[in-house]
């Protein structure tokens, strides 16, 4: 139940051409950094996820997830805090790893993040040329933060 991941900005999306992504809509019942509770609809599946506080590097934290009925998820989304995450996720196999590349829409349009899950914080992995600056541990790039402070309102 431990999630270990690294996050990166994406320099360009040329590599996504001709790939099909999954539409994701998610909201938060709680966005407390010590325990956030998320409702997610991804394609034709729905999930209830609880995440704990990240370690000091931001790479690791507790994660519990269960598949739930999609109609229940739609009802739970109505109870969520204001704001919604709307994005398309592409899964890119590279070596032994899968990068999840999220192309955000709505109020977070223009933000593109790649995440890679690892089995160990120090695990080596291939870094493709489209991978940009690492933002692991930067709370501004957590989906729970982007609900309250969307990318569109950031002063860059």
Domain ranges, ordered by start, for the chain: 2-153
* Cβ atoms of 105 and 83 closer than 8 Å: no
Confidence band of 115 (pLDDT split at 50, 70, 90)? very high
Give catalytic residue positions: 28
| DSSP-assigned letters across all residues of 79-132 | TSPS--EEEEEEEEEETTEEEEEEEE-GGGTT-EEEEEE-SSTT------TTEE
Q: Averaged over 119-127, what is the pLDDT?
A: 94
| Strand-pair partners of 8 | 114, 134
pLDDT the model gives residue 156: 60
Residue 2 has pLDDT above 80, yes or no: yes
Among 1.10.260.40, 2.30.30.90, 2.40.320.10, 1.10.533.10, name the CATH number for the domain at 2-153: 2.40.320.10
Residue 68 has pLDDT above 80, yes or no: yes
pLDDT the model gives residue 30: 95
pLDDT the model gives residue 1: 84
pLDDT in tens, 17-61: 999 999 999 999 999 988 999 999 999 999 999 999 989 888 999
pLDDT in tens, 78-96: 999 999 999 999 999 999 9
SS3 15: helix
């Amino acid at each position: 139940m431990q999630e270990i991941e690294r996050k990166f900005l994406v320099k360009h999306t040329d590599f996504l051409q001709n790939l099909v992504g999954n539409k994701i809509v998610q909201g938060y019942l709680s966005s407390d950094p010590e325990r956030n509770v998320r409702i997610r609809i991804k394609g034709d599946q729905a999930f209830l996820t609880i995440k704990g506080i990240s370690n000091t590097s931001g790479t690791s934290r507790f994660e519990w997830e269960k598949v739930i009925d999609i109609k229940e998820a739609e009802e739970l989304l109505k109870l969520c805090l204001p704001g919604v995450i709307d994005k398309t996720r592409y899964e890119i196999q590279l070596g032994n790893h899968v990068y999840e590349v999220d192309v955000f829409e709505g109020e977070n349009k223009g933000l593109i993040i790649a995440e890679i899950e690892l089995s160990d914080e120090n695990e080596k992995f291939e870094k493709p040329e489209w991978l940009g600056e690492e933002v692991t541990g930067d709370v501004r790039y957590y989906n729970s933060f982007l609900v309250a402070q969307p990318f569109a309102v950031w002063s860059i």
